[in-house]
Each structure stands twice: as structure tokens, then as C-alpha cells.
């Protein structure tokens, strides 16, 4: 399985895990969307979850970060994390059930976090 097949697999997995249709966000593929306001007053819009096929890694965006998602990470397989980025190598070494659960839980957390704000689904 190559990078193209990995991206196709993630496209489907993340749509099922998020319940949202994929949409292009520049070089990234995002699912759902929400509005936010920073402490400085800046307004923005971002996807609930998404991914980007990069040369070195497949990057999955877990927008709320990884607090409370340690169990899923423990059984995921080889990975690295940033603030909200999950860096995966080739997906044949990844526990896809754990990845789907991780994405699903992160979307649920984002929906809870932004329930009172101007959240809306993909258009």
C-alpha cells in the first residue's frame, strides 16, 4: 500500500469517524467546521478534524489536543504528537480501530467545547 492508498483509507475512515463530509482546506482535508474567537479578539474558522498527506508523514489534526486520549494513543502504533498534530508513518503499522476512536472522541470533544459558540457542520 502506498501513500495514495493511505490517503484514500484516511479519507473514508475520518468521514465515518467524524460523521462529516470531507472538504479541501488548502493542502489539507478537513471534516466539519467551527468558529472561534481568540483572547485577542481575532475571529477564525477551522475544521473539527482533518489530515494532510505530507512527504515525511501523514498528519492527522486532533484539534482539542491529546489530553484524555492517552488510551487510544497507547495502542495506536508508531506515532509522534505535537500540540494538535498526530504524525503517522505508513498506515499498515497503525491500529486503524484506535485511530478511528481517537478521531471520533476528538470530534466529540470539539463539539462539546464549542456547543455554545457559532459551531456548524461542513457545507
pLDDT of residue 116: 63
Show the low-confidence residues of the chain (pLDDT under 50). Answer: 119-123
- φ/ψ of 23, rounded to 5, equals -145, 145
The CATH code belonging to domain 3-114 is 3.90.1150
| Tens-place pLDDT, residues 24-35 | 999 999 999 988
Domain spans of the chain, in order of start: 3-114
| Tens-place pLDDT, residues 5-20 | 999 999 999 999 999 9
Amino acid at each position: 500500500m502506498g501513500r495514495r492508498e493511505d490517503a484514500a483509507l484516511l479519507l473514508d475512515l475520518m468521514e465515518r469517524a467524524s460523521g462529516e463530509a470531507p472538504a479541501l482546506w488548502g493542502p489539507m482535508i478537513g471534516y466539519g467546521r467551527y468558529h472561534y474567537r481568540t483572547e485577542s479578539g481575532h475571529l477564525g474558522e477551522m475544521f473539527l478534524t482533518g489530515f494532510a498527506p505530507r512527504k515525511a508523514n501523514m498528519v492527522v489534526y486532533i484539534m482539542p489536543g491529546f489530553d484524555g486520549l492517552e488510551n487510544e494513543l497507547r495502542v495506536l502504533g508508531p506515532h509522534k504528537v505535537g500540540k494538535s498534530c498526530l504524525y503517522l508513518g505508513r498506515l499498515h503499522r497503525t491500529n486503524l480501530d484506535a485511530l478511528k476512536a481517537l478521531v471520533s472522541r476528538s470530534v466529540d470533544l470539539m463539539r462539546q467545547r464549542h456547543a455554545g459558540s457559532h459551531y456548524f457542520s461542513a457545507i
